[in-house]
Chain A
């Protein structure tokens, strides 16, 4: 009988607390959102499963090799977190390789001024960065890690957090992905508030055709220039451009397919599960998490607003006006943000077809947020 009592005392069911139970419900809620509502399923499903694993007591799956006192003590997700993110940080760049091989720079090349909208939308990062600093709850590295949520780019958020504020990695990544999943609710009210019906109804002409030479030159030269100026952004920028060059060269279809399918999928599985496992109850149940939730929302909203306002500002000088709705797509979140610009445009005027135009600032946003991450790493890592 005593053995039975000892066994029960050592089981997870005995030591589980109310915080863990709430986290398990949150994990199940993420899984529900992914499966039933199809909200960012590739991210929210593995993150939800990771949350479940992280909050089941007694598994030791999160023990890092750094903290393991004997062989075989480190847990699977502790090992993946340590080598995949904290120590080597290889998973986000691998994801960027896949993103690069799926990215099309055509609209950016056809309308280069949209690159500036991608830059403008990054101002949201700095507004949230200042918000975090002024709360007095975070140090400068943590504030940068929170601010980057405004880049609306999951891998960039993870890359930066893992390097400068690993203790916030799980929460910043989940908040970034959660807001990306709900961007369809966050952006439209701001878009409608900051633009007039007339502006939303601006019809843009069809983008010009882009040659293969242009598609090859852009990633090659852009990669060299960006890395020369911000070398710390190289892990993300180089992999993005390498993936894109695989695709645009047209001579390595197997590499393109591997990057955009198998490699991307494998990296996504391990990255998202590991991010989920960082959401343990003791990390989530504190005032900082609530603050990060608020600051993340502030970052997204400000990024959307600065993108829109910059497009309106550009229109003062442009002969052929651009629809300011494409400015909000500057907050990465590829391709959801571009789709939202398109839908809001179509709501106003059926002739407005913004998807190809909004992809320009959308892709520029990916580059912009990776550059900001590089700048933060240069000064804070």
Chain B
């Protein structure tokens, strides 16, 4: 299947070359799309992990704050008690 061989500089456009080009096109487009779809899902997953992680950190921070507040309240009461006695 020689399509263009009119000049010396022309590349022999044979069926092997066409086959290789078809293979490369399908593989190239396929890999790029597959990879970027995987990355899209990955970014969504990172978003979910981040959201969940934040909620946990916030929960942890809240409980820590409650504990500190409780401790502060207890020590304040303790400080008051000897004076009242």
A associates with B: yes
Residue A270 at the B interface, CB < 8 A?
Answer: no
Chain A residues with CB under 8 Å of B25's CB are 126, 129-130
Interface code A204-218, partner B: CB below 8 Å = 1, 0 otherwise? 000000010110011
- Chain A 87-121 against B: per-residue CB contact (8 Å), 1 yes, 0 no? 00000000000000000000011001101101100
Expressed in whole angstroms, the Cα–Cα distance for A62 and B25 within the complex equals: 35
Is A214 a contact partner of B36 (Cβ separation < 8 A)?
no
How distant is B35 from chain A, measured CB to nearest CB, in Å?
A: 6
Question: How far, in angstroms, from A123 to B26 measured CA to CA in the complex?
Answer: 11
Task: Decide yes or no whether A367 CB sits under 8 A from chain B.
Answer: yes
A376: chain B residues at CB < 8 Å are 24, 28
Cβ–Cβ contact B36 & A379, under 8 A: no
**Interface residues of B, CB < 8 Å — how many?**
37
Alpha-carbon distance A122/B34, docked complex (angstroms): 13
* A367 lies within 8 A of B36 (CB): yes
B9 surroundings in chain A (CB, below 8 A): 137
Which B residues lie within 8 Å of A226 (CB)?
35, 39
- The reply to whether A133 and B31 contact each other, CB–CB distance below 8 Å, is no
Contact check: which of A130, A211, A368 meets B36 at CB < 8 Å? A368
Instruction: Say yes or no: is A230 at the interface (Cβ < 8 Å to chain B).
Output: yes
Q: How many Cβ-Cβ contacts under 8 Å join chain A to chain B?
A: 114
The answer to whether B76 has its CB under 8 Å from any CB of chain A is no
Q: List 26 A-B contacts (CB under 8 A).
A: A112-B43, A112-B47, A115-B43, A116-B36, A116-B37, A119-B35, A125-B28, A126-B29, A129-B25, A134-B13, A135-B4, A137-B10, A140-B24, A143-B21, A211-B50, A213-B50, A213-B53, A217-B46, A225-B38, A226-B39, A229-B34, A229-B35, A367-B36, A368-B36, A375-B31, A380-B24
Residues of chain A at the chain B interface (Cβ within 8 Å): 108-109, 112-113, 115-116, 118-119, 122-123, 125-126, 129-130, 133-140, 143-144, 211, 213-214, 217-218, 221-222, 225-226, 229-230, 364, 367-368, 371-372, 375-376, 379-380
